[in-house]
């Protein structure tokens, strides 16, 4: 897959300016390009457990505005604005097309990107995410904890709220959070950046146009996800024409990170399917 002639993308972590914002991004691996869009307040270093297990792809991860080391905009960006920014990143780095993996908040951005520029999306993976308004809400306690970025600043808070907030392996083996804490705490979001991301979800929904997404799509839902109950994954997969739904037994909201060794092969198999062949789909 050839790149645009804009500029060569260099493996490693560095900064680039897109639409007037300074963004931190990272490129790892060799193979077909895969854009990684992560959860609310998260930074690209948190992808490391998943990237370590996913072989055969050139992954492009980015700190969304206000998170990690990327610039916090003066005014909030809408979900459409975040999607346009992601396309702009691909433009600057020289990728005419890429598969896109969106996790949680990043899944909303990924849906909007696929709707806005379907010509730029090879395949779409939506993990632990929903459709915005119209989705079945998560556990009230978990949703309240998402309103604050405290878990990005305090190890004690992460250890206290993490098991009930994230469910899955993080609930069964709370000690796993300690292995994920360093990347999370090292580059926390700014308070304003976290608020801007929350505002981007306000009033947003993909329900009216999910049926317009024609690219092959894999929807992953954790069986024990307090934030995004799996019924939401089933709902999205039922509306996306070329979608395949996978329920991950015992999976929680952090399943891509705390069960990376289990999930990476599933994602890899899906992304490696020829875009010319029709998937054996099931919903």
pLDDT of residue 13: 83
pTM for this structure?
0.93
Q: Is 104 a catalytic residue?
A: yes
* CA distances to 18, 70, 111 from 22, in Å: 6, 6, 23
CB burial of residue 156 (10 Å; 0-12, 13-18, 19+): exposed
Q: What is the pLDDT of residue 276?
A: 40
**Cβ 125 vs Cβ 133: under 8 Å:** no
Asked whether the beta carbons of 234 and 221 are under 8 A apart, the reply is yes
Query: What is the pLDDT at residue 174?
Result: 95
Residue 282: per-residue pLDDT? 39
Question: What is the structure's pLDDT at 2?
Answer: 40
Give the pLDDT confidence score for residue 12 in this predicted structure. Answer: 74
Question: Could you list the mean pLDDT of each consecutive 10-residue stretch along the chain, which spans 283 residues?
Answer: 46 89 97 97 97 96 97 98 98 98 98 98 98 97 96 96 97 95 95 98 97 98 98 98 98 98 97 59 42
Residues in Cβ contact with 191 at an 8 Å cutoff, skipping those fewer than 6 apart: 149
Considering the candidates 26, 99, 104, 221, report the single residue annotated as catalytic: 104
């Amino acid at each position: 897959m050839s790149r645009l002639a804009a500029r060569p993308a260099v493996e490693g972590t560095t900064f680039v300016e897109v639409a007037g914002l300074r963004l931190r991004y990272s490129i790892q691996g060799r193979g077909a390009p895969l854009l990684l869009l992560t959860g609310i307040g998260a930074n690209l270093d948190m992808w490391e457990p998943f990237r370590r297990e996913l072989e055969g792809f050139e992954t492009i991860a980015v700190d969304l505005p206000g998170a990690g080391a990327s610039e916090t905009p003066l005014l909030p960006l809408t979900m459409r604005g975040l999607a346009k920014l992601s396309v702009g990143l691909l433009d600057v780095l020289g990728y005419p097309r890429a598969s896109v993996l969106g996790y949680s908040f990043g899944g909303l951005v990924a849906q909007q990107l696929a709707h806005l520029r379907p010509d730029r999306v090879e395949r779409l993976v939506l993990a632990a995410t929903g459709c915005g308004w119209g989705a079945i809400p998560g556990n009230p306690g978990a949703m309240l904890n998402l309103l604050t970025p405290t878990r990005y600043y305090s190890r004690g808070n992460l250890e206290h709220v993490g098991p009930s907030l994230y469910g899955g392996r993080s609930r069964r083996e709370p000690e796993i959070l300690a292995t994920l804490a360093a990347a999370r705490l090292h580059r926390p979001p700014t308070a304003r950046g976290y608020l801007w991301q929350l505002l981007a979800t306000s009033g947003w929904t993909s329900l009216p146009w999910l049926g317009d997404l024609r690219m092959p799509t894999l929807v992953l839902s954790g069986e024990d996800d307090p934030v995004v109950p799996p019924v939401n994954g089933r709902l999205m997969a039922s509306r996306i024409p070329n979608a395949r739904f996978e329920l991950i037994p015992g999976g929680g909201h952090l399943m891509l990170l705390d069960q990376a060794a289990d999930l990476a092969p599933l994602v890899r198999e899906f992304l490696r399917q020829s875009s010319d062949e029709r998937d054996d789909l099931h919903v």
